[in-house]
Structure 1
């Protein structure tokens, strides 16, 4: 049996430079796609086993050095890139979630003022119903709806509202997908004749949206929900991306809860644990949450390094 190394004509270094992760790619996309056109791989539509790679928020803002950089994300990207390259002939479809924001959103500093007229410090500030009622924090925009949202979070057992640094702002470098990884995504597009799916999220100003399919206020994204409905059409699903503690975990929960009655499907989901990292301080809670999902739904936890699917 041929290995993928024998199947692919193009060496990895012509597509993916580890030292450039999170920055501008010295390899032009036209060079990448010229290489892809030389490959002789079967088209994805001919795959008997349909395999989906779902990558969460692989964007510059979440790469180390970015606006909300996740420690460990560079090495996660190295491993993810090698996984895609090694298994390019088996991956049928790549789907990407994309966090998209503007400054005026409820989880950004400019939305709130304290008693002294100061905006909150990102990451360390959590705003609760009680802190707003007591006057510790006042919403600058949509005050009634902002308070109602905090009540919804509390009543629904959701995370409390944490203030994040400005990140993934539309039109900035932060919102863009990480360039080295995208070289491989588009190489796959041409080499396997498979257009990637892009699932945008996070654009409502009055709600957070960690997971790809539902906002924190419970409203579903119609376009993304259609993709969620169709996920059992794949035989296997591999999931990676950032951050494990928030957007990866919540996307995983959305998928599993939506398809809770389909055990064969939930057991087909594989979480690549070495291609995702948690926000610092959440490590223990994240491990516990992932283990609970594995026990309840039968998802597979595995490492991507050296993995041939």
Structure 2
């Protein structure tokens, strides 16, 4: 197929997820994985007809950051604390702003009902405008080189700006906010992704944002085209402590008929 549309969806290739000094939420192997992505972009060159990059984009005040919560003595939760609906209902963990209690309780209950994640308090990460929000330098250079050489724009997709809900998936927030259209299913992005003959998927982290994005995409992807979705396993890694979830996700994708490949394969 000489004019096949080969697209790349690169999820959150940001400094704060890299195993680099100063990173807020380092994922082991992320730098090496993103360097493989950069090499892939340079190798494929003109064969890549579209590149989309998601960017986790937060501010300090966020339901999954420490500042929004406190215990009975006013102390914030340590990073990686899990907060359950029972914790909120019992007052073990309280919203720092009492006016947010009812909304936060409903959120945690909805999150648990969704069955994918419990509320994890992450270190403040990917704060808009800071170093951690930026794209890893090797990927950034490769993206800009591709744009110049091919005369194309990279499509950057921000997610996570709503402080009341998590937004692991590129396609929707974990719990929808009726007041914010940016949290609902992004039908336009799905259509653009579906326009690819082959869609390569890579990025960080395998256990969370990559997993949520592909799971959501599968809901809208034609069953007979699942082999057109390619997950680059050497370019995605799990958050420490969530390796089992990453492995379970890979098994789930394999069983669903998604192609698992590495960045040096031919596409």
Q: What TM-score, normalized to structure 2?
A: 0.92
- Residue in structure 1 matched with residue 259 of structure 2 by the alignment: 300
Q: What is the distance in 1 between the residues matched to 2:171 and 2:68?
A: 24
- Residue in structure 2 matched with residue 282 of structure 1 by the alignment: 242
- Residue in structure 1 matched with residue 84 of structure 2 by the alignment: 128
- Residue in structure 1 matched with residue 18 of structure 2 by the alignment: 63
Is residue 229 of structure 2 the alignment partner of residue 272 of structure 1? no
- Residue in structure 2 matched with residue 167 of structure 1 by the alignment: 125
Runs (5+) with no aligned partner, structure 2 = none
Q: What is the distance in 1 between the residues matched to 2:190 and 2:176?
A: 15
Any conservation in 2 of the 1:99–1:201 contact (CA below 8 Å)? yes
Residues 117-142 of structure 1, C-alpha deviation per residue, up to 9 Å, x if partnerless? 1100002x000111112221001131
Is residue 94 of structure 2 the alignment partner of residue 138 of structure 1? yes
Q: What is the distance in 2 between the residues matched to 1:146 and 1:269?
A: 36
Any conservation in 1 of the 2:19–2:30 contact (CA below 8 Å)? yes
Trace 1:87-166 onto structure 2 (pairs within 5 A).
Answer: 87-123=44-80, 125-141=81-97, 142-166=100-124
Q: What is the distance in 2 between the residues matched to 1:268 and 1:76?
A: 22
Any conservation in 2 of the 1:199–1:224 contact (CA below 8 Å)? no
Q: CA deviation at 1:284?
A: 2.2
- How large is the RMSD of aligned CA atoms in angstroms? 1.6
Q: What TM-score, normalized to structure 1?
A: 0.80
- Residue in structure 2 matched with residue 76 of structure 1 by the alignment: 33
| Bigger Cα Rg | 1
Q: What is the distance in 2 between the residues matched to 1:268 and 1:303?
A: 15
Q: What is the distance in 2 between the residues matched to 1:292 and 1:308?
A: 23
Q: CA deviation at 1:308?
A: 3.2
Any conservation in 2 of the 1:83–1:307 contact (CA below 8 Å)? no
Is residue 198 of structure 2 the alignment partner of residue 198 of structure 1? no
2:230 alignment partner, SS class: strand
Any conservation in 1 of the 2:10–2:54 contact (CA below 8 Å)? yes
- Residue in structure 2 matched with residue 255 of structure 1 by the alignment: 217
